[in-house]
Homo-oligomer: A and B are copies of this chain.
């Protein structure tokens, strides 16, 4: 007969599942209502738990937000690592990265990274957010510079190019609504084709 007591592994797994459930509920509310308008009480109520339970698993509202941003950031950085390991030209790697970047942007945690401005946070929180965002920008820049060096990308100002690509692909974080007629993947592929191939018939 199974023991009514959890093993340490089971307890760690339960703890992690509970944290994940809180983060998923919180990030959706942050994205919908904004950080300031979101109350941890409402996040707790949506899960049938109390606010102290959220404090116990994650901490206060800013700590919950920073954890959501950290999860989104991990997805962006995983996309960069994957692109870095690909063979092909700098442009090939950039395209691979941009497609993943666009899709993360349309997912809950990636959207939260883009939508969270430093003004919502404490000075330390804002600093940590800025540093993390800078790492994503640096990854984008490295693929651009590789492509310019190997001749697969036309030479131009890498900073303007990175802003143009990121700007276009960040925009869906503000308007894409999951469940529309096109999948996030289809939108990402079309956008990256436009951005890298240009508009002329081909």
Known: A171-B167, A172-B167. A193 touches B153 (CB 8 A): no
Q: Of B155, B161, B194, which contacts A164 at CB under 8 A?
A: B194
Least CB distance from A56 to B in Å reads 32
User: How far is the CB of A66 from the nearest CB of chain B, in Å?
Assistant: 22
Bound Cα distance from A194 to B57, whole angstroms: 46
Q: Are A156 and B201 in contact (CB-based, < 8 A)?
A: no
Specify which chain B residues have a CB less than 8 angstroms from the CB of A172 in the assembled complex.
163, 167
> So how many copies of this chain end up in the complex?
2
Q: How far is the CA of A119 from the CA of B157 in the complex (A)?
A: 36
CB distance from A96 to the nearest CB of B (A): 14
- Chain A contact residues: helix, strand, loop or mixed: helix
Residues of B within 8 A of A91 (CB): 199-200
Bound complex: CA A168 to CA B167 (Å): 4
Assess A154 versus B195: contact at CB under 8 Å? Given A167-B169, A168-B168, A170-B167: no
Are A166 and B171 within 8 A (Cβ)? yes
* Interface: A136 (CB within 8 A): no
Provide the bound-state CA to CA distance between A170 and B157, in Å: 19
Give chain A's interface residues, CB within 8 Å of chain B. 34, 91, 94, 119, 147, 151-157, 160-161, 163-172, 175, 182, 187, 190-191, 193-202
Given contacts A154-B199, A157-B190, A170-B171, 11 further A-B contacts (CB under 8 A): A94-B199, A151-B201, A152-B201, A160-B190, A163-B172, A164-B191, A164-B194, A195-B198, A196-B198, A196-B199, A197-B198
